[in-house]
Amino acid sequence: MREVAIDPRGTWRTGISITGLVALVAALLWGIRVGAVPFSAYDIWNVFIAPASNEAYQIIYNIRVPRVLVGALTGINLALAGCILQGVLRNPLADPGIIGVSAGAGLAAMSVMILWPGLMALVPAAAFIGALLAAGIVFLLSWDRGIQPLRLILAGVALAAFFGGGMSALMVFHSDKVQGTVNWMAGGFQGRSWNHVQMILPYSLIGVLGAMLSYRYLNALQLGDEVAKGLGIRVEKARFFLVVLAALLAASAVSVAGLLGFVGLIIPHIARMLVGSDFEYLMPCAAVLGATIVVAADTVARTIFSPVEVPVGIFMAFLGAPFFIYLLRKGMQR
């Protein structure tokens, strides 16, 4: 009888997938349960099975469930945007925040929120245009017979500072309207509702579908432009499409979560350590990991100093900055 060979890597990836999904469900349930008013799993079950207009229903269904869903979708979008940008640029330090895409989206979104508050439904579209504009400027500034990674990082940092100055100027000249944007600039999910879920969900579905269908292009780009062309890939068109896709994912996340940094940088690296560099497995793993970590971090940030709520962007900065320094030191040693 012929023996069937078992692929250890495939078994490991299957185990990681199951573990990641279980961790995501646990993070979602934990985010719904804990808070100023704790609830049991039975209370959560009753809200969905036998809804009633009581305090538990209002808190769970209208406050906590939308918040954890927005957090999960934001984590997915930022993690996938980071994966795509790192793959396109072949640069482990690329992410929407570092190369200025998030700042461009943030300036555009803040402009709509402060100058035209009645057009809140257009915030994701404005953020996407701002992110795409920032990506185009960074590409132009870093182009020298091809994308130069160091120039791209430097151009991104400079552009992020420029757009950050624009956001500060808006706050100075419209100081009477900035109260609602302070937490948004820090990055957080306080006050997120079902309207925010509806705002980010369509962009997330389009972005996630596009990301999962583009893994072959990302894998080919890792081999170099000449090899990718030999495989029949139209390199420049593929790179442009992937950057637009990353901008869409990052912009939709910025429009509901604000300037939440470092997610797109650290999540792809952790996923790469778990499942390897093949984007067919890397991107689904990064998406699940991004959702899990953002939801868990938000839960910790809003409960650790209760009743004071810390924006999750501050919490992620304390986690992400040391990791970024570690990557820089590792790259310099190489």
What pLDDT was estimated at residue 1?
Answer: 43
Q: What is the mean pLDDT of the chain?
A: 82
Q: Where are the alpha helices (DSSP H) in the chain?
A: 8-33, 41-49, 55-59, 65-89, 101-115, 123-142, 149-173, 182-186, 194-213, 215-221, 225-230, 235-257, 263-275, 279-303, 312-333
- Nearest CA to 152 out of 80, 243, 226, 236 is that of 243
Measured CA to CA, the distance from residue 314 to residue 49 in angstroms comes to: 36
Q: pLDDT of 301-314, one tens digit each? A: 888 887 778 888 88
Residue type, 323: F
pLDDT value at 174 more than 80: no
Q: For position 23, what pLDDT does the model report? A: 93
Q: Cβ(207)–Cβ(74) under 8 Å?
A: no
Reported as a pLDDT band with limits 50, 70 and 90, residue 68 is very high
Segment 21-64, tens digit of pLDDT? 999 999 999 999 988 788 888 888 888 887 777 788 888 888 89
Sequence letter at residue 303: T
CA separation for the pair 272, 286 (Å, rounded): 8
pLDDT tens-digit readout, 227-253: 878 878 887 788 878 888 888 888 888
CB atoms within 10 A of CB 247: 29
Model pLDDT, residue 146: 60
CA distances from 328 to 86, 156, 157, 317 (A): 15, 16, 15, 16
For the ranges 97-101, 260-264, 267-271, 301-305, the lowest mean pLDDT is seen at 97-101
pLDDT recorded at residue 26:
93
- Which among 9-23, 92-106, 229-243 has the top mean pLDDT? 9-23
Residue 289 confidence class, pLDDT cut points 50, 70, 90? very high
Output DSSP code: residue 63: I
140 close to 204: Cβ distance less than 8 angstroms: no
**pLDDT for 4:** 47
Is the pTM higher than 0.75? The answer reads yes
Q: What is the DSSP letter of 64?
A: I
pLDDT at 24: 93
Distance CA 180, CA 273 (A): 39
Pairwise pLDDT comparison (319 vs 62), residue with the higher score: 62
Contact status, residue 230 vs residue 104, Cβ threshold 8 Å? no
In the predicted structure, residue 287 carries a pLDDT above the cut 60: yes
- Residue 175: pLDDT band with limits 50, 70, 90: confident
Q: What's the mean pLDDT in 199-214?
A: 89
Contact predicate 103/259, CB 8 Å? yes
Contacts of 20 (CB under 8 A, 6+ apart): 285, 288, 289, 292
Lowest mean pLDDT among 72-86, 93-107, 171-185, 230-244: 171-185
Where does the pLDDT of residue 179 fall: very low under 50, low under 70, confident under 90, or very high at 90 and above? Answer: low
Give all domains of the chain, ordered by start, each with its CATH number: 66-333 (1.10.3470.10)
Q: Which of 197, 321, 198, 190 is nearest to 261 (CA)?
A: 321
Measured at the CA of 138, the angle between CA 137 and CA 143, to 5 degrees, comes to: 100
Whether the predicted pLDDT of 78 surpasses 50: yes
| Distance between CA atoms of residues 114 and 181, nearest Å | 8
pLDDT of residue 72: 94
Percent over 70 (pLDDT), the chain = 91
